[in-house]
Each structure stands twice: as C-alpha cells, then as structure tokens.
Structure 1
Amino acid sequence: MAFSIASILLGSSLILQVASSALPTSSRCCNLLDAEFRGGEKVVFPQTTEYGVLNTYFAPTSQQTPSCIFSPADTFDVSRAIKLFTRHSCKFAIRSGGHHYNAGWASINNGILISLSNLNKVIYNPTSKSVFIGSGNRWRKVYDTVEPHNVTVVGAQNSDVGVGGFLVNGGVSYLADRYGWAVDNVRDFEVVVADGRVLHANKDENKDLFRALKGGSSNFGVVTGFTLDTVKSNPVTNLYVTYPESSYDVLIDEAHQYFVKEEDVDSQVLFVFSLYFKDGVASNNYAAVLVYTDVMDLTNPPKVFTPFLDGEVPSSGVYVSGANKTLGSHGHQLAGVQHSGGRTTRQTVSIFPDAQLLKQFNKIWIKTAEEYKKIEGLKVDLLFQRIGKQWIAAGNAKGGNSMGLTKPVVILWVQPHWTSARDDEAVAELTTKVITRFEKAAKDAGKLSDFEYLNYAGPKQSLMSGYGTESIRRLQSVKAMYDPKNVFGTLLPGGPKVPGLY
C-alpha cells in the first residue's frame, strides 16, 4: 500500500536522539548488569561454557557475538534489566528460541543478549481452558503439557520453534483456517515496557497494546509470558505427495482452485518445491503437503484433496507421514526432519491468487538459481500457501490484529541451503534476486500484495510497511503511549520496526 511516510512522521516526537559518542561501551553495560544482579549465573561472558550453550541458534547464519548474555529468572529480572538499559543506553537483543534465520533479529554483536530460556513455565488451567506459557519455551513442551488433557493450542508446525518470536510475529499454524493466526489466540500478554513496568495486555486491560502486540513484533516491550486459548485436540493427518516436473502446470491449476474455493476449514495444503544442485547439475522435486485437522479415513480422503490424489494431477508417490495423530506429534516429527546447524536463510513475497503468475514464478526461480549452481551444497526451496478468507475472518472474530490483511493472499518464501560460510554473500544475493524478480512479475500482473509475513521475511525487506496505513498509524499511537523514547527501536537494533519512526 502506498502512503507518505513523511505525512505520518508529522508531529511525531518518538525518535530518540542519542549521539553515538555518548553511548557507553557494551562491556561497561555488561559490568553494570552484572553488578545489578550481584554476579552469579544470570550474566555470563564469552569464553565460558554457559555462554556457548546460550549463544546457539537453529541456523549458524543468525548467530552473532554478544558482549555478554543475560538469563533472567523471572519477569521482574527483565524489568530491572530494561530499566538499567534505558538509564545507560545499553543496546540489547531478545532471544526466545533462536529459530529465526536473520542475524540481528534475536542476536547482537557488541551488546547484551537477553536469553529468555529460563522463562519456561507451562501451566494448563482446565477451568478457564487456557494455558500460560513462558516466552522462553519451545512448542514441544507446550504440546506435551496440554495434549494429555485432550486439548491443544494453535501453535507452530515445528515443535522446536521458540514460542516468543513465533507469536509476536503472527504465527502460521495448521489450525489457522479455523482459529486464525496463532497470535489471534492469545488471551493475555505479560509484557515489560520501556520504563520497566510489568503490564498485562488483554481485552480488558491495555486494550490498545493488546492489539498492537498481535503481529507488532518486539516494538513495544519484552513479552515474558502468554496466556493462550486451548482448543479441542482433533486427530491430524499429514500426506506428502510428490509430482514429476511434467505435472507442474496442472498442479498449479488445482492449487489455484484450492486457494480460491476455500471449501473445507479443516484442510490445509502447503506446496514445497526443491531444486538440488550436484556438480552443477540440477534436479527438481515438487510436492504438496496435505494436512487434515480432523478424523481422516485414508481409504476415503476428504473431497478437498481429491484432485491431488486421484491421478488428475499425475503424481510420483503418496507418503503418509502421520495418520490421525496429535498436532504435537506432527510437530515433533517435523522437528526431527528439520535439523539445526545448516546454513539457511529466507525471504518472502505475497501475491493475490493467480495461477499464471505461479507458473511464471517457477521459471524465474529455476533460472535464477541456475546462475549460482556452483555454490557448494546448494539447494533452493520454494514454498507457498494460502492465507484465506476463513483464516482472516477467524482472526477478526477474536478482535483483530496488527497485520492489516483484509483480502486472501498466497505467501511464498524462498529458502536456500548451502554448505560454507564463504558463500553467504552469494546466497544472500541469490535470494534477493529471486524475490525481486518475483515482485516485478507480480507487480506487472497487478497481483503483488504489500504484505510480508515477518517470520519468513529477510532482514532488508520492507517488513511492517505492508500492514497498511491504518494499522501503522495505530501502531505508532501505541508506541507514543508505551515507548515514547523509542527504546525498542533504538536500543533494540534488530528485528522489524514500526514504519515512520526511523
């Protein structure tokens, strides 16, 4: 959406002006923090075993070198730290699970890393049908806590993803068509704001902050805990169907029909295409992941999946990767497949559903990747799925969020994998080039959406500007109330930022 940043800036007094020469060194900030907590185990420094354990990430491409790492034991520790950071202009980063691939979003060089891993309570309340989740958890513990009670949560597809970053950036879930974004299912946020106050944001308290935190990322404070709705734990089935390259066009035609019809709220189809290079020679793999979030008879699959299974789209094989199991068991299985430690990155683009454009994207993706085929161990994935009317409506029914989506879109993301750090720059160039060419093709076709899903976005994308003018103005207003000096825009340098304040 086009709007004037200058007009939004008029009258804003949110920009924190701090001369760089006045900032204390990060080592001094670490010493001040260590003194605040009287030494001990909460502040650890480089060249210690604890530092190495805490400074680990799913992808080494996102790892940086903080001057020290702070591990608060509870929300009040976070409050004390934020007061100190604000008072002494100390730069910091916040890490929940460390699963995002962008360096600087949950990591920092020459600053303080707040590791939330000790904020790991998960408390199920059967009376209120809710669960309190400390933001340092991963979804594995959440699923394992609630699912023995025949309930689950609208959580991540991969159990090893951290709770905090996943939720404040939106949260894609297999249950989203029925319940909306994962963050739409938050009842209450426990959050430490810029002046160190510990607040609760919900439909009754701090209502403006409540909505802003639904997709507003880390712009308003450190979220230390979430209270989520629980939902009925229906059986979930996951089918992985592969297709030869010759089936691509008809596969996309059926994908488009699935996107626009939205017949079954219990279904979700994710398309996963991979391009492998070995000795400069490419090979393709095309697949559809068919997920059904209710009881499924494998001998008589739901009608919505028929085109992908009955030979109308010629397939190479159908694999059952989980039949009528819990959502958590699928998350655990995916976590076992998606191993940490490999070099990877992502960038995203969203379009309004269009079959011809998706066919064009396939040619762009392959042609661009071929330009980089000599990169060691290169594999380039192209994935896409629908965010449809049912998904958007479910979120609106729960009070809405900050992401500004009003029309169905298809979100796509390009995710390369490679072997060596020496190729990091070249792979970043490849990823940007693919997305730039996608954007041009979509814009030329009149099908480009400004929306960018934060958890799939690259570090230099427009990010939250795609939320739209109304949402951005609302976010700016909330910033003025809860972070008037823009602490979480300047002292927290990484991650998505509210447009118009920088």
Structure 2
Amino acid sequence: MSRLFWRTLLAALPATVISASPPWSTNSTYLTNSTTCQAINYQIPGRVIARGTIGYDAAQGSYYSGQERELMPDCIFMPTTAEEVSRFVKTMAKREGRDTLFAIRSGGHTTWRGAANIDGGVTVDMRLMNQTVLSDDGKMASLGSGGRFHDVYHQLSPHNLTVMGGRVPSIGVGGFLSTGGMTFLSRKYGFACDNIYGYEIVLASGEVAYVTQASHPDLWLALKGGINNFGVITRFDVPTFSSDLMWYNLINYEYNDSVLAAQARAFSNFMEPARYDPGAMMGIFLNYAGGNFTVSDALWHINNVASPPVYDEFTKIPNQGGVAELASVADVVDTFGANILPTTSRAFQLDWSFRNAPADMYIKVIKIWEDRVKQLNDVKDIFIEFLLQPQSVTNGTNMYGLEPGRTDYAMMLMTATYGDARDDARVQATVTAIVNEQREVLRRHGLLIDFVYPNYADASQDPFKTWGAANVAKLQAASHKYDPHGVFQKKVPGGFKLFK
C-alpha cells in the first residue's frame, strides 16, 4: 500500500471519528443504554471511526480480499497505545449483545471472510500502532503489531539490519508473527514465531502483560502460533540480523513439459538434506490465467553473494531472463511485491506440507493441477497460482508439532483470485478437489505431513487439529488460565478457534 494512502487515511481520521464530546448522558446509565460503539468512544474518545465516513471507507477498502471488504462492522476502533486497547477489552468484556463481538486486524492480508473483519460489532484496527524501535545495542527490534514489513525493513536498512518478516510489502506484523511466519531466513532460523523474545499483550481481564519465556512460559509458547486466542498483542520484541545485501533472482521460463521436468528434478535435488544450504530460500510459481500457463522461480539467498551455486540447476534451465541482483532486504521485498496486486475481488487459498519427493512425484502433482485447473477457464478474471517452496526448518519453539531441524519438509500453496462472488462455490469446490487429489497422491506414497500452516490456510482447513492432541491441549490449557471466561473464544469469532 502506498505511503500516500496512509497519509490520506491518517489525515482523514480526526474529521471522521465519532464526536469526542458525546451528546448522550454521561451518567452511570450511559454504558448500559448506549450502543457498544458509543460506549467505546466514551471510554476512549477520538479513536472510533463511524460508518459512512472517509476513514471508515478507506479502512474497509484496504483489505486484500473482497470477502473481507464486504463485511461491515458497526464501527472501527483504532488504538494508539496498549492502555487504550486495555480499556477497550474491559469495555467489551462487560457488555453483552451481538454488537460486542469484535475482530482484530493488522495487515488485513488473510483472504477468507471474517479472518480480520466482522459484520456488525467492532473491528480493532491496529495500524496506528506501527512503531519500529531498535534497542541501544541493535540486537532487538520492538515492532508494533499494526506495522507493515515494508516500513519495518526500510527503517532497519540504514543500520544494515533486518528481522524475520514477510516477503510481500503489505504483510502486517501482527498477523504474520502471531500465526507463524515464513521468511528469507527461515531455512536457517525457523519460523519467525520461533524466535520472538517477548510479547506485550492485553489479556481478557484488560491486564497489559509482558510475556517472555521466564515470566509466562506457558503463554509465551502458546503465542507461537496461537493467533488471536489469548488477547490482543500490541508489540513483538524480535531479534535483528545483520543484513547488508542479499541475492534475488526472479527467472521466467517457457511453460512446457521439458521445463517442468527440469524444475521437478532441480527442486527434488535442492531439497535433499545432503544439499541443504541454510541461506537459500526459493519458490516455484506455476500460474494459470486467460487460458495460458506460465512458470517462474523466485530465488533468494541471505548472503551477500551473487549467483550462489546452490541454484545452478534452476538457472541452467533454458529461460527468458528476469531480475537478478544483490539488493537490501527492503528493496528485494519492494521489487518482488510489485508483482502482486494490493487487492483482489475474490480470493481462496489452501496449503499443505509434505516430505521431499522424487522428481516424478512432483510431475504427477503438477499434472493434476494442469489438467483440472482448465475447468475454471470461463470464470471472470480467473488467476490460479500453484506455489512449491521449502518449509521453514523449525527449531521447535512453537506449537506446530513438527520435527525440529528437519530440512526436507516442503510446502505447496494454491491460491485462486477471480472477479465475481457468484463463482465462490465453484472456484472453491474445484480448487479443493485439485488439492485433495494432490494430497492423496502424496499420502499414498507416505510423503504427506499432517500439518497445515496457518498463515496460508483457509478457514475450512482448521490448522489446530493437525498440530497434535498434546499441543492442542496445551493451547486450551493456556486459554482457560489466561482467559477463563472465554472472551477471545466467544467475542472474537474470526481466526482459528481452540474450542468448537
């Protein structure tokens, strides 16, 4: 999203908030007789944006998917401090009724309906809490949960530092870090959530807590993948990493059987443990639009070395050229992100994980996609991306239940974008059928992993049930302890819930 957009939105806020001097009575009957939006504004003046205003429309329009944009909260609450969030949570916890439900929004990039927005009720829009503060020794950065990684990277770049963050500029800090986080550094250090030092969080009681491994070990671990089930995270304290320049290569190829076979061999070999390179992250992007197929590779390496040999098998495949450069993380993210639209009319995506496969297995999976995706050719503005990439090499400091240090785990992600809500059922059914067939092929050969990565998952996938019963029990125990009345289970319907 452009800086001009944010300046326009922020400039509009003072003129679009509900009046800070409420026209209704300020006596004790006010909190029970008013609407929830009025009650919040009374408790926290100047932070509530009403329907029908420029600020409201701008906030709604900035969600990535049409499914999220079409939801209409009664109002939007935009806090600037943890103390304001605390007062909000206390107000919401005491009130009853449909308008006391709320959603928590950071970047708004999740595709499915209700992930970070709500019909009626209140959307808590964290984007004014977007600070990036570097510690005195430069070893830690404190990130506001409403920040975007475009801004984080550019603020750290003059110090030759980076953090584990999104590979697309518009990705929000809060959603990315609370749900997992696959990054350029993930093959070396694991998921971004594996490495978070501490969390500032507003609990269901309204308490502002600072959660570390020493202070709250059970909650600290639960937050590493626990999403919005335990409170409103307002700040993440994360490690920084030295980063001068990194290698980025985006290569385009002709889509044909010869190229696909070479890609399959190269990826299978790349994922062999004996060839593991902790600095190398990549993705093979197979795309379908307008009846045509395309294929490209995005190759990233965190070291300041041009044309690293780990990618030789990919770069030697006959190709049509593309971007190849040493650049800062900030510039790489901007360049790569320029290929991705900031919003889409409709979107649907599914992800799944597996152990590295022989080359012929990748071809089988690709051919299932290639054959079935043509069924959607007449769908308005259809674009379907099938992404194959390595999975993070986790250090085990999360709730996922994956084997730590395993270097041969890979992930597939299928994303469909299209133009008309009337095609929702058809697109979702077709993509789901393709994915189920691909998963079954991997399952039959003992390669499928019962793990769903929540950052990419659809609401229908329920990641928690794939993380193991023991981990789910730990998450539920933390919820009972820190949210005994289930505020974040009952009043925050969006996101993946611990209790059904």
Is the structural similarity TM-score above 0.5? yes
Residue 479 of structure 1, CA deviation = 1.2
Residues 198-213 of structure 1 mapped to structure 2, 5 A cutoff: 198-213=208-223
Q: Which residue of 2 aligns with 1:16?
A: none
Aligned residue number for residue 377 of structure 1: 381
Structure 1 residues 25 and 109 mapped into 2: Cα distance closer, same or farther (>3 Å)?
A: farther
Take 2:116 and 2:335, find their aligned partners in 1: how far apart are those partners? 25
For 1:92, the equivalent position in structure 2 comes to: 102
Partner of residue 449, structure 1 = 449
Q: Which residue of 2 aligns with 1:43?
A: 48
Q: Aligned equivalents of 1:384 and 1:293: distance in 2? A: 19
Residue 371 of structure 1 aligns to a residue in which SS? helix
Tell me, yes or no, if the aligned pair for 2:354 and 2:409 is still in contact at 8 Å: yes
The one-letter amino acid of 1:245's match is N
Cα distance in 2 for partners of 1:487, 1:287 equals: 45
Q: Is the contact made by 1:152 and 1:230 (CA closer than 8 Å) also made in structure 2?
A: yes
Between the two proteins, what is the percent identity of the paired residues?
Answer: 26
CA distance in structure 2 between the partners assigned to 1:327 and 1:316 by the alignment: 25
Of 265, 271, 283, 1:259 maps to 271
**Which residue pairs with 2:352 in the alignment?**
349
The Cα of 1:208 is off from its aligned counterpart by 1.3
Q: After superposition, give the CA deviation of every residue in 1:3-42 in whole Å (9 maximum; x if it has no partner).
A: xxxxxxxxxxxxxxxxxxxxx999832232223224xx31
1:5 maps to which residue? none
| Whole-Å separation in 1 of the counterparts to 2:104 and 2:489 | 13
- Aligned partner of 1:362: which letter? I
CA distance in 2, matches of 1:352, 1:25: 56
Cα pair distance change 1:116/1:26, threshold 3 Å: farther
Q: 1:463 to 1:251 in 2, by over 3 A?
A: same
The answer to whether the aligner puts 1:54 opposite 2:59 as a matched pair is: yes
Farther-moved stretch of structure 1 (243-252 vs 451-460): 243-252
Evaluate the alpha carbon distance shift between residue 371 and residue 26 of structure 1 in structure 2; reply closer, same or farther with a 3 A threshold: farther
Structure 2 unaligned blocks of 5 or more? 1-30
User: Residues 365 and 434 of structure 1 are in contact (CA less than 8 Å); yes or no, is this contact kept in structure 2?
Assistant: yes
Query: Does structure 2 conserve the Cα–Cα contact (< 8 Å) formed by 1:294 and 1:324?
Result: no
What secondary structure is seen at the aligned counterpart in 2 of 1:241?
strand
Give the aligned residue type for 2:373. A
Map 1:263-302 onto structure 2 (within 5 A).
263-277=276-290, 282-297=291-306, 301-302=307-308
Counterpart contact for 2:86–2:207, Cα < 8 Å: yes
8 Å contact 2:170–2:342 — kept in the other structure? no
Taking the aligned partners of 1:440 and 1:294, their CA distance within structure 2 comes to: 37
Contact 2:44–2:88 (8 Å) recurs in 1: no
Indicate the residue corresponding to 2:493 in structure 1: 493
Match for residue 222 of structure 1?
A: 232
The answer to whether structure 1 residue 318 and structure 2 residue 321 are counterparts is yes
Please say if residues 266 and 293 of structure 1, whose CA atoms lie closer than 8 Å, have aligned partners that are also in contact: yes
Give the distance between the partners of 1:168 and 1:455, measured in 2 at CA.
9
| SS in structure 1 of the partner of residue 277 of structure 2 | coil
Query: Shift of residue 77 of structure 1?
Result: 0.9
Q: CA deviation at 1:250?
A: 2.9
Alignment partner of 2:197: what SS? Answer: strand
Which residue is 1:307 aligned to? 313
Q: Deviation string for 1:42-68 (max 9, x for gaps)?
A: 112211111112223122232211111
Q: Does 1:34 align with 2:46?
A: no
- Give 2:12's aligned residue: none
Give the aligned partner of residue 17 of structure 1: none
The offset of 1:232, in angstroms, is 0.4
Q: Contact between 1:402 and 1:471, CA under 8 Å: does it hold in 2?
A: yes
- 1:250 paired with 2:254, answer no
Residue of structure 2 equivalent to 1:73 = 80
Deviations 1:385-441 (A, max 9, x none): 1126xx22xx34xxx111221154211111112223332332222222222222222
- Are 2:138 and 2:240, in contact at CA under 8 Å, matched by a contact in 1? no
Q: Report which stretch shifted further, 29-38 or 217-226.
A: 29-38
Question: Aligned pair in 2 of structure 1 residues 285, 221: CA closer, same or farther (>3 Å)?
Answer: same
Aligned to 1:439: 439
Describe the SS at the equivalent of 2:271: helix
How much has 1:357 moved relative to structure 2? 3.2
1:476 positional shift:
1.6
For the residue of structure 2 that corresponds to 1:460, the secondary structure is: helix
Counterpart contact for 2:44–2:87, Cα < 8 Å: no
Contact 1:234 1:326 survives alignment (8 Å): yes
Count of aligned pairs: 457
Q: For residues 438 and 422 of structure 2, what CA distance do their matches in structure 1 show?
A: 26
Aligned partner of residue 456 in structure 1, secondary structure = coil
Find the residue that maps to 1:455 and give its secondary structure.
coil
Counterpart-to-counterpart distance in 1, 2:282 and 2:247: 12
Supply the distance in 2 between the matched residues of 1:52 and 1:25 (Cα, whole angstroms).
28
Unaligned runs of 5+ in 1: 1-23
Pairing 1:175–2:178 present: no
SS at match of 2:384: strand
For 2:55, the aligned partner's letter is E
How big is each residue's C-alpha offset from its partner over 1:325-383, in whole Å with a ceiling of 9 and x where there is no partner? 11111112223221212232211111222133322221221222122211122121100
Q: Contact 1:61/1:345 (CA < 8 Å) preserved in 2?
A: no
For residues 269-304 of structure 1, the C-alpha deviation after alignment (integer angstroms, 9 at most, x for no partner) is: 211101122xxxx2211222111111223xxx3221
Contact 1:346 1:416 in 2 (8 A): yes
- The one of 390, 409, 417 equivalent to 1:386 is 390
Q: Does 1:402 align with 2:399?
A: yes
Pick closer, same or farther for the CA change 1:143–1:34 going to 2, 3 Å: same
AA matched with 1:111: G
Structure with more relative contact order (C-alpha pairs < 8 Å, separation 6 or more): 1
What code does the residue aligned with 2:65 have? A
